[in-house]
Structures are given as C-alpha cells and as structure tokens.
Amino acid sequence: MTNNQTLVLIILTFIILITLVNVIISIIERRKQIAKINTLWDNKLKLESFIRPNSRFDAQYHAYRDHYNEQSFIDDKTWSDLNMDTLFHKINFNFTAIGEMRLYATLRGMFKVNQTSLINKFKDNKVFRLNVSYILSKIGKNVYPLFPDQMLPTKRNILLMFCPLLPFIGVAFIFLIPSKGILICLTFMILNAILSFKLKKSYDQDLKSIFYTANVIKQSQALSKIESTPAISVDFTHFKASRRFSGLLVRVESQDMASSIIMFIKLVFMIDYFLFHLIQRSYFKYQEEVMACYDYISILDNHYSIAMYQHTLTHYCYPKINHNINGLQMKSIIHPLLDEENAIANTIDISNHILLTGSNASGKSTFMKAVALNLILAQSIQTATAHSFIYQPGYVMTSMANADDVLSGDSYFMSELKSIRRLFNTHQCNKIYCFIDEIFKGTNTTERIAASESVLSYLDNQKAYQVIAATHDVELSTLLENTYNNYHFNESIQENSIFFDYKIKPGKANTRNAIELLRITQFPIDIYQRAQQNIRNL
C-alpha cells in the first residue's frame, strides 16, 4: 500500500468514525428527549422552563398587525394593565418559537385557538400527544425566525457558489503530487473558512431563518402523516432540495468534538452558503405553501399549549357565546393569575353598567381584572377560569394602572387623562367592554366627582359601551344610580385585624377602613384620634 493510499484510508476511516459517533449521539439524545416529553403531561410541565435571551414573542404580532383591523387588537395599555405578559408565560406550553409567536398574537386578538376537538385529542389520546409533541420539539426554539414573506431574496454570487468545489482540486492533486496537493487543499480550505465567516455576518439571520424554515417544512410533512392531525394543502415535492440536504441544514450548537468537526467541514466547504442559495429560491417561489407550513406547525403547537394549560387547571370551562344577552353571565369566576386554591370565586350577571365601591384592598380591582381577562381568554383561546361563562363578544379596554411618566413629563393625572381619553376612540366595534379603576384618582375630590360623573354618563350614552368602573367616591353611586347598577366589596374589623371576604355584593359600600387601618398598623394614637375627630366634623 502506497503512502497516498494510506493517507486516503486514514481520512476515510476518520470520517466514518466521526459519522458513527454523531449517529450514536443523535440516538442517545433522541431517547432522552422522548423520555422527557413522556413525563411532561403527568407532571404538568413545560419542555423548557426558562425564557431564551433571543426570544421575540411579539414578532409575528408586530410584523402583521397592519394587515388586520387594528380595532380588533388588545392595545398596549390594556395589555399592560392586565399583566398579560405574565398570563402569556403561564399559558405558554409551546414547543416551537413560531408557536410562541402565534400564541402571543392570539392573545392580542389576531388569531383564535378554537378547535375544541383537537384540544380534546391532545388531552385524551396519549399516543397522539406524544407523537406530535416529539416532532414539534425537533423544531424547538433555538431560532426565532424571520417569517418567509418578511424576507427579501438575497442575490447569489456565482463565483462563490463554486468555492465549495475548490478544496477538491487539492484532493485530486494529492494523488499526483501529494505535497502540492495537500498545500492546495489547505489553502482553499482556509480561504473558504475566511469567506464563510465574512459572509455569515451579512446574512446570518436570513441563514438561520431559511434553515429553520427547512425544518418547519420537514416536520410539517411528518406531522401530516400522523393519524388524526389536520390535513395540510402543501405539495412537498416542491421542496426536494431542502429534504435532500436536510441532514446538513442544522445549526451546530454543541461544543463536543463531533459537532466541532461538523462545523469545521461546513466552514471549509462553505456548505451553509451553498445550500442557503440553493433552497431559498424554492421558498420564494412557493411562499404561500411555506407560510401554510408555518401556520400548520404553530396552530398544532398552540392547541397542544391550550390543552396543557387546561390540564393544569381544576377551575375552568369552555365559554359560550350568546348574542341575545346584553353582557355577561358568570358563575364562580376567578382571576386566572391567582392560585386556584386560594382564589375567591364570584357569581354575577352583568346586563348593565356597574359602579363598584368599597374599601382599599377589598377586591374591586381583582374582580374587574378577572372579568376583563376572562373576556380576552374566552375570545382568543376558548377558555374561562369559571364554572360557567356566557358572553356577548366584544372589544376589551382598560384604564387601570396609571402612573407618572418621567420620560414624557406627564404627571399622574395627565397619564390618567390620556388613558381615559383613548376609550372614546373605539367606534367600529359593536360591543366594547370598558374597565376603569379609581377614575380620576389624580385630582381633588370636587373636580374628580364632577369629571367622573360626566365621563361615565357620556359612556352610558354610547350604545356599544358596557362599563365596569370602580371608585372610592360613594357620591357617584347616588349621582349615577339611574344608569349604573351599584355593587360593592366590604370588610370586617375584629380587634387588631381586618378581614376581607372578596365577595361582590349588590348596593353601595357602607364601610370604610382607612382610619381603622391607622390604628391597626400602630400609628401614634394621637394621629388616630385626631383622624376620628376630623371624620365626625366633616
């Protein structure tokens, strides 16, 4: 055996060993993943319990919001008032980045998760659930891609497309002049590696998105073959190139030796650049089918996520729409962010505006947020944290957690004015649910009552609006008693403790606790007694 033959044999043996190691590692990782997924449902866990630093949950919503009627979306103020980011993370059991992005957009009002039969299939059929979950997990969240219809075609350089072939010139010379062949091969490999690094800086996000898309298409085809999954109208033969090179269309994230060698091979042969331009043309040509695959994956992922979210709950129902009622009928409604065991449920039918009165911390804000959040959940993911929730569909707006804005220079009252003013700009909806907490809290009592009565009366005169407002000004209960139904929350004080039952009751509030709280929290006795005297004199 000649030296040249020995060298070739060593290289081939090395390549075979690396391939075997990679295959073995893949099999081990696959078994670990399946075992982990198999435990998720019973333990009510997410596959990933952390938030990735590269996450872009809102990317789809912001990319496509201009394509829809803006009036149908939950605005930023309402989203913030209701702590919707926290609720999103609680509901988010998605396996994929595009599933997360679609769920966020769904909660903002862009889409709906409403295939009850598919949700129940995930709940009731373990084999179906595991098969779908495993395939979705193969897509994962390593990349938060640009959507295919948001990407611009990248012009390819014909000369660079031939660069992957250059090292093979050196390989051919090895058989003729070994020393020169090795030198030529190494030179071209170094050149390709430098070009790979340089080019990667300019198209890295597109590269990640294209490779992610290749995986989405591949797994869409795999999912479509599972019994009971929805059909998908895509001709997968249009994507032969990406299927043919699917083994190379991966992002190498691990730091082990096998992964490092794969990365080295991809760099010196410019494999990523070559495949990127080879397959991107088919993605642009069949863009609608590519987007259909994105929708297919994210919709399946969302229905799994909602099935798992419902599985974590003991207190929920499927809400019902009734266009014949003017408002809401709720039995045992609770706030979806509160612990179910400790949350206090309330039952109420709302057919008119409501004015809530009651002491501080008695439950007014929590009740309003519970109703608003359940309206959003009912209309987006067909879930309500109640025993029964019947509603007339409508747009949800809030004016609650107002604060000074140091950057803009707005005072508390100015921020509140802007928040309430925007409530009047929604005229295209048939039904608008408005939730206003402690209206005009930032100004003096006389003007607060006058302005509050004017605003609430104005909203009463707008046919589409249904208002739930909370106030500490009991005077408003009398001023608005002909147009607003009065409800209240109250408390009881026993010795040195104050107790709240957090139950909504009809009528005006008849208790106050601010002065007694001075005593309970051990303010100087002179302050407490003087405050009592002031109350008697007012």
State the residue for tokens 């009398």: 478
Domain housing 248: 3-44+52-312
Same domain for 337 and 270: no
Among residues 256, 287, 312, the one where a domain terminates is: 312
Each of the 538 residues of the chain gets a pLDDT tens digit; together they read 566 556 667 767 776 776 777 677 778 888 888 889 999 999 999 999 888 888 999 999 999 988 887 677 999 999 999 999 999 999 999 999 999 999 999 999 999 998 999 999 999 999 999 999 999 999 999 888 888 777 777 776 777 777 777 777 776 776 677 677 777 777 877 877 777 777 777 677 777 888 899 899 999 999 999 999 999 999 999 988 777 776 666 555 555 555 666 777 777 777 777 778 778 888 888 999 999 999 999 999 999 999 999 999 999 999 999 988 888 999 999 999 999 999 999 999 999 999 999 888 889 999 999 999 999 999 999 999 999 999 999 999 999 977 656 555 567 778 888 889 999 887 677 899 999 998 888 778 888 899 999 999 999 999 899 999 999 888 999 999 999 999 999 888 877 788 889 999 999 987 777 788 888 888 999 998 899 888 888 7
Q: Number of structural domains, the chain?
A: 2
Same domain for 122 and 62: yes
Same domain for 514 and 471: yes
Taking Cα atoms as reference points, which of 38, 48, 44, 118 lies closest to residue 311? 44
Tokens of 49: 């319990």
**Listing from the earlier edge strand, what are the strands of the sheet with 346-350?**
320-321, 388-391, 328-333, 346-350
Same domain for 332 and 236: no
Same domain for 348 and 288: no
Among residues 312, 334, 355, the one where a domain terminates is: 312
CATH number at residue 445: 3.40.50.300
Same domain for 445 and 296: no
Taking CA atoms, 190 is separated from 187, 270, 508, in Å, by 5, 11, 81
- Distance from C-alpha of 179 to C-alpha of 7, rounded to nearest angstrom: 12
Q: Sort residue 251 into left (φ over 0), alpha (ψ -120 to 50) or beta.
A: beta
